[in-house]
Amino acid sequence: MARPHVREFLQRFVHPLVAGGELHVGVGSDHTDRDLERVSVRRSKQVCPKPLGSRLWRWTDVRDHWDACVLRSWSGGALYQEGSVAGLLAPDAVLAAVRARAGATDDSVIYGGTLPLLGGALRFDREFVAALEDPVRGRELRCAYRVSVVDDLD
């Protein structure tokens, strides 16, 4: 389990990932320092690690049933987010949009959106787990980590 070192008040969401020359999908978390976000959204994202799961699926292996896949996350052991990826842009559409704006993406990992929070309230727990389930093939990708809080990062 990774141990990102961040400040106390942070936001975590589960995201499907788009990665590499041959399109792959995975799961990860886009940490954001909520206090710093009030000053600079860009900097609030830069100071926090972006944990990723250790495995990927080829997009071609999941493309035909992508909308059946489910994203979930748990914060402090409590279910935090859950839902179908059908409401998110498909990974190939995310990649096309990024390429149109930024050019080449061969060595990139791109976060592809997230789901609403269950209950609507942010949680600030030390443990976070993210999962992408493929119920058609009976498999799951996971990303799990604990947060080590540090004092101000200045």
The stretch 51-59 carries a mean pLDDT of: 90
Domains of the chain: 5-149 (3.90.850.10)
Each residue of 78-119: pLDDT tens digit? 999 999 999 998 988 988 888 899 887 777 788 888 888 899
Q: Hey, what are 60's tokens?
A: 């071609």
Each residue of 30-43: pLDDT tens digit? 877 777 878 888 88
Q: Is the pLDDT of residue 68 over 90?
A: yes
What percent of the chain shows pLDDT beyond 90?
A: 33
Burial 63-85 (b: 16+ CB within 10 A, else e): eeebeebbbbbbbeeeebbbeeb
Q: Do 93 and 101 contact (CB within 8 A), yes or no?
A: no
Top pLDDT among 146 and 107 is at 146
Instruction: Spell out the alpha helix ranges (H) of the chain.
Output: 34-37, 41-46, 59-62, 91-102
Top pLDDT among 143 and 105 is at 143
